[in-house]
Structure 1
Amino acid sequence: MEQLEDARDMFVTVHDQWLRQFGADHQNTLKAANNLARVQRRLGQLSEAEALFLDTLTRRTATLGADHLDVVRSTIDLGELYIDMDRLPEAEITLTKALERAEYVLGEQHPYTFDAMNALARAKEAARKYPEAIDVRALGFQRRSEYLDRLLWVTGENAREGYLRLHRPEFNAYISLLAREGGAEAGKRIVEASLKRKGLLLKVTSEVQQIAQLSNDPELSATAAELEAARKDLASMTLSGPTSETQGRHTEVLYELERKVNELQGLLGRASVRYRSSIANVTAGAIESVLVARDSAFVDFLAYEDGGKDKLIAGVMISEGGEVRYDVVLYPDRSALEEAVIEYRTYIQDEGADDDEILEVGQVAHELVWQPVLEAIGDIDYVYLVPDGILNVLPFNALVDLDETYVIQSHDLHILTSGRDLLPNEYRLADGEYVILAGPNYDSEEVVSQDELLAAQGRRSTALQLGIRGGASGLRGLNFEPLPGAEQEGRLIVDRVAEQERSQQTYFQDEAQEEILAQLDEPPQLLHVATHGFFLEADDTLRKRLLKLQRGADLHVPPPGDNPLLRAGLAFAGINTNAQFLGDIDTVNDGVLTALEVLGLNLTGTRLVVLSACETGLGEIHEGEGVYGLRRSFQEAGVAEVISSLWEVSDAGTQALMTDFYERLLNGHPAREALRETQLEMMDSPEWGYPYIWSAFMIVGSYESAGYSIQ
């Protein structure tokens, strides 16, 4: 309140000075007057604010013309004031007029246009006109998604997440309205919202990298450069509003720029099936066309806030008898659900916990997470799941009901990162070799030459003397112990593949180098990597930055401006020797493959990637974005299905699971079925029948869309 009062006094002073210097109708004087009225409104001085807003609006209209953006701003501010004064009919009329002028003058995606639309939605909500409010919010959501697509493309890597956070309240308001209404239409809108927004950050990052790769092609470089320039112009014009060059035709200029961007994207899409698939528009109707093939359910979770309280909702599609219907599942207390998930993960990994304790905690998690889904889907046992938030690291199959039946026993689950995963795409599935890298020699001195290391050391010493760079930090603090079990696992798989006379490339010890993946001539059919995975925390001291994640409670949401794709990765030969020189040596073979580097690998159409390393399914959790880590990056790189781990498992347990899994896979079972059958069999084993062992690995993707079955 004190700051607002200070601001009011400041604007009074500024207004009086400009009034004396320029007169009452000068643009600067009117700007100060409008800002003063906005502060008065926030201080609750509503009558004073109304009088000043009306006077400012009248003068701006007379001086600047009805189509000036300052007139639009004053009209929006007046409409918002009427909401505060509970004069809702006047608010709706005023804000409808403001929205129409903003769209005409500034375009559909100018910040003032969004302000008008959000305020109009609030006015309709206050008047309890919820269906109308939902329609306004839905239109705003669609336009904001298009806006973000424009802006994120030309925004720095570390600023993109900040844009999404900035506009998250709009998303929350929309989903909150849908939760209030419920029913089939709300369920469909939730699914549509998820398709447009979930995973957007990584999708844009991947597309930017794809354009960079396409620009290396001499025949496409000019088109790629033209697309980049057109996108920058479009983003700039969207934010700026009319300029001296576009005055009176601003919306037409925006339309032409957007048409140009779409045309250039089409040209590049014809040259790259991966890029074409990435930019394709996906609707709930497309998912319906897949679901109708059999009785099944599609459950898409979305985390959101309502009134400052964390909540969770799921849009549900249910296919029965060739007909698809929609529903909504509400989770009013997300915090309790998250605590249950964290506790279950903790107990599963606790060697000191007895079976009854694990069972009881698993039943609590089942009641909170899975029971509401069961009430919506009924007897359907074939279920596609798209998690959000903490649910991305929940072993759904290990949830257990009061009859001590695990979900894996009662339901056939397909975990997806987005509804997009379910849809057929244009990828030509790779028929290349099996590529197996296992048990790297982390202390190898054969990866980077001594001359290169000495040169790097010299550059680093000079930088330190000049004060340019401090000591080791981040990735430079990495150090890994040998994994003899990983090498043994890899050799067992090699033997199984050889028995089936499959063509394979195998790399162990000193040969298990990062550059093997960076220099793939063609996408492998299957890639198996048995090594250390890692995830570094955003803010911690060097030695503590390796995220052990023995407790799910260690998961956190990162601060803005931080790129988690650079802090998740896989370790390869030579990393212990090279770590201190990371950044000063060639990144293609420095011993670390980050999740960001994965996006650039030649894996389009690879059928399956198996990340048989500790905690490769983990990463930084972003609400609405999933887990930023290796699993998602491999999928964005064009891999159909990815198997990764939720926690560290013993060598013996991992070998037992992988041996049986590959036995089934090589005998023609689709990857997801092979993993599920292996896990079901392990449950009956006295040695391996613990959730800690059999539920540690999960597969993400859909073999329907991947078509992955070894013939």
Structure 2
Amino acid sequence: MGTDHTQQQRAGGLAKVTAVQLQKHSQHLVIMMKGLVTSAAAALLLAAGKLAEPAWGNYAAEQRLVDTTVQKVEPLFQLQQAINEKELGPEHPITATSLNNLAELYRLQGLYAKAEPLYQRALAISEKVLGPEHPSTAASLNNLALLYRDQGLYAMAVPLSKRVLAINEKALGQEHPTTATSLRNLAGLYHKQGLYAKVEPLYQRALAIDEKVLGPKHPSTATSLNGLAELYRFQGLYAKAEPLYQRALDIYEKELGPKHPNTSTIFNNLAELYRLQGLYAKAEPLYQRALAIHEKVLGPEHPSTAASLNYLAEFYDDQGIYSKAEPLYLRALLINEKALGLEHSTTANSLNNLALLYNKQGLYAKAEPLYLRALLINEKVLGSEHSTIANSLSNLALLYANQGLYVKAEPLLRRGLAMQVILIQREAPYLPISERLSFLQTFSNTYIAAFSYAQRGNSGANLALFSRLNRQGLLQEIEQRQAQIDSLPGPQQAFAGELRTVSQQVASMAHSPEQRQQLESRQEELEKQLYRLLPQLQPRVVEVQQVAAALPAGSALIEFQRYELFDGTKARGQNWGEDCYLALVLKPDGTITPIDLGLAKPIDDLIQSALDASEQKQADALELWAQVGRSVLDPLSAATHGVDTLFISPDGELNRVPFAALPAPGSSQLLSEELQLRLLTTGRELLDLQNTSSVKTSPALVVANPAFDRKPITVQSPRLAISSQQRSGDLGSRRWAPLPGTATEGATIAQLTGGRLLAGEQASAASIQQQQQAPRLLHLATHAYFQPDLPAAERMEDQPLRSNVQEPTALGGENPLLRSGIVLAGANQPDADPADDGYLTALEVARLNWKGTELVVVSACESGKGDIQAGEGVYGLKRAIAVAGARSSLLSLWKVDDRATAAFMESFYSKLKAGVGRADALAATQQEFRQSNNATWRHPYVWAAFQLSGDWGAVRW
């Protein structure tokens, strides 16, 4: 008995030493899930007294000792635990430590069921004996969170990680390295859940702590850099991700060595970034290096090795080299099933990738069970709303659609599309506006594929329209909703005000490209800070029947869609065909008629020819528009028969079409003569336009005849000048010429509307921006401009010439809202007033509060032009005016004549004042000009230039 007792004392002493040493080197255990299994083994050996202080990083040697070490250390830890419970009691802190140690050993072996109750006991002891806010309690919470993370149980891990962070911030301080680790852990969990808006501030805080406390070259700094880069890669922000990856790689290579598992992880991440951009030559050697390191250092059956195999397989898969991809996918799947379990999200990813490979090859019977398994796992692990689940649903749906099983495909596609719409509305609002399109592109293009199935019966047509109604103009709607919130009282007001100031500085013509780049960075940071203060937008998914119910009797909605033809039965790289146009006609009773309009290019070419003829006042302009009508409206004749009102939501180049100049479907009469015409960005607007605004507004504001030279303009022969003057958006002229016709127009419109007139030097951008209340109606009669983007090489060639021109310079490659705007007082001397350069860009317009404004009219050349973005419409003044909150806008599609436009506007406003609705007033004015005694005014160049979008009803005076 005595001998046994002595042995127990010695074992107990060794166990206590083991606990102290294991606690000291616990960081080497924690990082096991990042691939450093062998460092954990070294820590165990040290704790067991088998090694002196090791030179951490001899991975290959340590790996060979793992199996035997675990066998030797596990009984020691179990003995330690038994002794502590007996001698110190079941609720002693040292007992809790030994429980944690034993649980950690089980976690490292993947024995999660054995580890969890031990972690739970250790946590309960710490909370009871040391208190809920003690660092040891935080350590127990962290261990349990890591256990759940390892199993993919992110929803269970997050609340624990949040508690850990709160404790460490309070006990250790806001700038402690352990606090930084807690921030990274929580950020990683949010990333796994797809909650990207919560990730960035956590990684940024961790990075700031690491750089300040540990230094810019510390491995922990590299870890934070990698986490932040991963976030940006998943958001599609590749240009922001790459330099962070490169910094992290440089640190790891220097501090840990080129063959360290952390280094190889960066190889994989950077290679993925290149693959997603199609830079295969840069990606492949990085994939190969990462795989070689993981196989040698961590072993052929490690999860990190599986990750490398999967990445390399995707690389071959992308290029259609299926024979190389399949065995790699299969190896990765087997490793993940064995190492992580059958229900881990990483296992689901392997299943999904392998299924995709089979689907592309038409091996549907092999793909389906893999897709189904992946979907079940993801729904269980990731919850109800995650981009991975949306992709799983879409993949499975396309599998069925490729086999003609549309009844099975349609509900899955609908669920996937609805989930995407919700996720976009959840995450995009927290991104700077300039990054939102890139984020949209990270989602699968299933919503485009849905249009290829529009002819597959009622369900196919319904799905296509569901896709269009929910995705078209979604980012514009998000901006509109946020703009309405940030104008309300609250802490966001300070950020919103500073953001408006910075946006004005960004738009200033006086700044160099370098200065503008710095200001844009500040603008993006302010946007992120502002959007984090705003309440979360409530996502909405619009059903087709809701829009149908909003249609008046006797009307129809036409949703045009430009889309890339999809054929899922063909191999990757061959399954996307040429661009086509589709028309989806919706009636109030919910009936949907899909009409295939054929290839997009011939239609686009016709539109361009008609635009050129209209702007150049050619005699055949109306006939060319008739040809456009025969291509896009005549096929709709049967579907629109008996309709007296058409709501049209255009897409692609159809955004440039003056629909009033097209003949009605199957008729020789013009559309605006036979039917009531209403233009919308999306049919979804019908739901919002039903709500009237209760916002208090000021009287109408009329801005006309700006003094471009900041001095009164004297015109000796107004009649002669007016007849030849265009309200030109031509940015090739060195100076903006005066527009005498706008003086008469402004005075007339101000009198008709009872509005305030700003003319001459008062007709400035600053005057518009400083309005305290939104005007009930805003009329701007001046020059406008839109500068198309140019390839980088052409921008460089043009720059010397452009630097001498008083115009928006160096805007190639810029935000299209910076390349579009209104020319106002002082524009010919933009440097004269630092606070007002004479331009009101679309970007500045989007920052204004015009909520409650009934109508904005920009009586100028090309005010309706802009960049056309798939799914988002026209990026220019039209979008900016809508974002600012105005219910409707009247803008021009091409250059317009000064005198004719003044007469046109006088007639239009006379009808508005008489109570005629906006759309009907426009149609009547257009008909009046078509029948004019003035032959010039009868040309579509004059009467078809202006197009109304948005609310078509009467102005509430």
TM bucket by the smaller chain?
A: 0.7 to 0.9
8 Å contact 2:652–2:868 — kept in the other structure? Answer: yes
- Maintained 8 Å contact 2:410/2:463: no
Match of 2:875 among 618, 625, 628: 628
Kindly tell me the number of residue pairs found equivalent between the two proteins: 603
8 Å Cα contact 1:523-1:603 kept in structure 2? yes
- Residue 422 of structure 1 and its aligned partner are, at CA, apart by 2.3
Query: Does the 8 Å contact 1:359/1:400 carry over to 2?
Result: no
Name the residue aligned to 1:91. Answer: 367
Of the three residues 480, 492, 496, the one matched with 2:736 is 480
AA aligned to 2:772 is D
Q: Retained in 1: the 8 A contact 2:484–2:885?
A: no
Q: For the residues of structure 2 that align with 1:200 and 1:476, how far apart are their CA atoms? A: 35
Give the one of 659, 673, 680 matched to 2:927.
Answer: 680
Aligned CA distance change for structure 1 residues 138 and 511 (closer, same or farther; 3 Å): same
Please give the secondary structure, in 2, of the residue aligned with 1:66.
coil
Match of 2:479 among 205, 213, 232: 205
CA contact (8 A) 1:618 1:627 kept: yes
Instruction: Find out whether 1:126 has 2:385 as its counterpart.
Output: no
Q: Verify: 1:567 aligned to 2:841, yes or no.
A: no
Report the counterpart of residue 594 of structure 2 in structure 1. Answer: 328
Q: Is the 8 A contact 1:186 1:328 kept in 2?
A: no
CA distance in 1 between counterparts of 2:653 and 2:338 reads: 55
Show the 5 A alignment for 1:307-456: 307-319=576-588, 323-351=589-617, 353-354=618-619, 357-400=620-663, 404-423=668-687, 424-428=690-694, 432-444=698-710
2:847 to 600, 603, 606: 600
Given the alignment, which residue of 524, 527, 533 partners 2:778? Answer: 527
Give the root-mean-square deviation of aligned CA atoms: 3.5
Are 1:671 and 1:709, in contact at CA under 8 Å, matched by a contact in 2? no
Pairwise CA distance, 1:97: 0.7
Q: Any runs of at least 4 consecutive aligned residues in structure 1 with deviations exceeding 6 A, and if so which? A: 1-10, 219-224, 474-478, 543-546
Check the 8 A contact 1:22/1:29 in 2, yes or no.
yes
Distance apart, 1:641 and its partner CA = 1.9
1:57-85 superposed Cα distances (whole Å, 9 cap, x missing partner): 22222212234332122111221232245
* Counterpart-to-counterpart distance in 1, 2:535 and 2:686: 27
SS in 2 for 1:400: coil
Question: Aligned residue for 1:75?
Answer: 351
Structure-2 change in CA distance of 1:94 and 1:532 (3 Å): same
Distance (Å, rounded) in 2 between the aligned partners of 1:98 and 1:366: 48
Unaligned runs of 5+ in 1: 225-260, 267-275, 447-473, 547-557
Structure 2 match to 1:295: 554
Paired letter, 2:474: L
1:481-560 matches, cutoff 5 A: 481-497=737-753, 502=754, 504-539=755-790, 540=795, 541-542=798-799
> Counterpart of 1:243?
none
For residues 280 and 172 of structure 1, do their structure 2 counterparts lie closer, same or farther at Cα, with a shift above 3 Å needed?
A: closer
Which residue matches 1:195? 469
2:622–2:661: 8 Å Cα contact kept in structure 1? no
Inter-partner Cα distance in structure 2 for 1:595 and 1:419: 24
Q: Which amino acid aligns with 1:188?
A: N
Do the aligned residues in 1 keep the contact of 2:784 with 2:821 (CA within 8 Å)?
yes
Give 1:591-670 correspondences, 5 Å limit: 591-670=838-917
Whether the 8 Å contact between 1:188 and 1:315 is mirrored in structure 2 is no
More RCO (CA 8 Å, sep 6+): 1
Shift in CA distance, 444/57, structure 1 to aligned 2, threshold 3 Å: same
Task: Name the SS for the 1:437 alignment partner.
Answer: strand
**Aligned equivalents of 1:701 and 1:18: distance in 2?**
58
**Which residue is 1:64 aligned to?**
340
- Name stretches of at least 5 consecutive residues in structure 2 with no aligned partner: 1-274, 497-531, 566-575, 713-729, 804-810
CA gap of 1:44–1:186, structure 2 versus 1, over 3 A, is closer
Seen in structure 2, the aligned counterparts of structure 1 residues 119 and 477 have a Cα distance that, compared at 3 Å, is farther
Structure-2 change in CA distance of 1:524 and 1:5 (3 Å): closer
In the superposition, relative to structure 1, how do residues 98 and 430 fare at CA in structure 2: closer, same or farther (>3 Å)?
A: same
1:108–1:542: structure 2 CA closer, same or farther, 3 Å change rule? farther
CA distance, structure 1, for counterparts of residue 279 and residue 624 of structure 2: 48
Structure 1 position 709, deviation (Å): 4.8
Match of 2:572 in 1: none
Residues 518 and 602, structure 1, Cα contact 8 Å, conserved in 2:
no
In the superposition, relative to structure 1, how do residues 545 and 362 fare at CA in structure 2: closer, same or farther (>3 Å)? farther
For residues 303-350 of structure 1, the C-alpha deviation after alignment (integer angstroms, 9 at most, x for no partner) is 11012311111221123xxx3422112222111111111111111122
Letter of the 1:509 partner, please give it: G
Name 1:248's counterpart in structure 2: none
Query: Residue 576 of structure 1 aligns to a residue in which SS?
Result: coil
Distance 2:801 2:464 in 1: 39
**Which residue is 1:254 aligned to?**
none
Aligned partner of 2:546 in structure 1 is 286
Residue by residue over 1:92-117, the C-alpha shift from the partner in whole angstroms, topping out at 9 and shown as x without a partner, is 11111111212322345545434433
1:529–1:611 CA contact under 8 A, matched in 2: yes
Q: CA deviation at 1:615?
A: 1.2
Percent of aligned pairs sharing the same letter: 29
Contact 1:210–1:600 (CA under 8 A) maintained in structure 2: no
Measured in 2, the distance between the counterparts of 1:601 and 1:607 equals 15
- CA offsets, 1:181-228, max 9 Å, x none? 1x44444333332332111223333444445444xx34677999xxxx
Amino acid in structure 1 at the alignment position of 2:606? A
Go from structure 1 to structure 2 and tell me whether the alpha carbon gap of 1:682 and 1:391 turns closer, same or farther (over 3 Å shift).
Answer: same
SS at match of 1:564: coil
**Structure 1 segment 113-262 matched on structure 2, within 5 A:** 113-167=389-443, 169-177=445-453, 179-181=454-456, 183-214=457-488, 217-218=489-490
Give the AA of the match of 1:602. N
One-letter amino acid matched to 2:654 = L
Cα contact 1:640–1:703 (8 A) shared by 2: no
Partner amino acid, structure 2, of 1:113: I
Question: For the residues of structure 2 that align with 1:602 and 1:36, how far apart are their CA atoms?
Answer: 51
Question: CA 1:283/1:80 → structure 2, altered by over 3 Å: closer, same or farther?
Answer: closer
CA 1:29/1:426 → structure 2, altered by over 3 Å: closer, same or farther? same
Distance 1:70 1:410, change over 3 A: same
Residue 281 and residue 59 in structure 1: after superposition, are their counterparts in 2 closer, same or farther (change >3 A)? closer
SS at match of 2:564: strand
Distance in 2 of aligned mates of 1:565 and 1:286: 32
Q: Flag the structure with larger Rg.
A: 2
Deviations 1:534-578, CA, capped at 9 Å, x for gaps: 1122234359889xxxxxxxxxxx99x842112211111112212
Match of 1:577 in 2: 829
Deviations along 1:465-502, one digit per CA (max 9) or x if unpaired, are: xxxxxxxxx999984221111112112223434xxxx3
TM-score (norm 1): 0.77
